């Protein structure tokens, strides 16, 4: 029978706490560097991308979905984490949108460590191509409608607006054009 060895006792709590402080300091520095890089990436993307691009980064059985998006919020393009639901037609309804810089450190780490930001940027070319096709289609439809309506002239519109210069009873709707 092998001799029983005495189990090592855990290190004293003050040593554990000191190690935690050291590791927290390392984590904080790494997170600060990642946040600075996110700001730099967003700045460069704003010069390259002028429309919304998105990538699904998580999907659950109940239809809940999470996306990484480069899109506009509060008048400024930025990286966003959007969550919502995918309906039975595959359409995504977003019900929560958070700037990546305002998400948890774990979320920021996840989107970079798992390659989602890189894949979002790589997919931009394809998404732009799809958006160009849709805009060309929209332009054709708009031109057809505009041509069907005939020539546009401000004087035609001004001539069709009724004049309200005659005094009337404010309680009466008799002079309203509809």
**Can you give the pTM of this predicted structure?**
0.70
Cα distances (Å, whole numbers) of residue 76 to 52, 96, 150, 171: 11, 17, 38, 47
Structure-token match 């429309």, residue found = 51
Quick: pLDDT tens for 79-138.
999 999 987 787 888 999 999 999 999 999 999 999 999 999 999 989 999 999 999 999
Quick: pLDDT tens for 32-45.
999 999 999 999 99
Beta strand extents in the chain (DSSP E only): 53-59, 64-73, 76-86, 92-99
Cβ neighbours around 81 below 10 Å, total:
23
Cα–Cα distance, 110 to 117 (Å, whole number): 10
């Amino acid at each position: 029978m092998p001799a029983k060895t005495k189990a090592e006792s855990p290190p004293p709590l003050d040593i554990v706490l000191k190690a935690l402080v050291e590791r927290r300091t390392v984590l904080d520095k790494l997170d600060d560097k990642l946040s600075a890089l996110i700001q730099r990436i967003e700045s460069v993307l704003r010069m390259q991308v002028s429309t919304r691009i998105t990538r699904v980064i998580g999907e659950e059985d109940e239809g809940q979905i999470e996306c990484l998006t480069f899109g506009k919020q509060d008048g400024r393009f930025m990286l966003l984490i959007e969550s919502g639901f995918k309906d039975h037609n595959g359409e995504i309804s977003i019900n929560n949108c958070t700037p990546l810089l305002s998400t948890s450190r774990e979320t920021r780490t996840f989107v970079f460590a798992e390659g989602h930001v890189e894949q979002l940027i790589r997919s931009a070319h394809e998404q732009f191509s799809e958006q160009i096709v849709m805009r060309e289609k929209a332009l054709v439809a708009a031109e057809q409608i505009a041509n069907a309506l005939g020539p546009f002239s401000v004087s035609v519109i001004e001539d069709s607006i009724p004049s309200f210069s005659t005094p009337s009873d404010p309680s009466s709707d008799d002079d309203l054009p509809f």
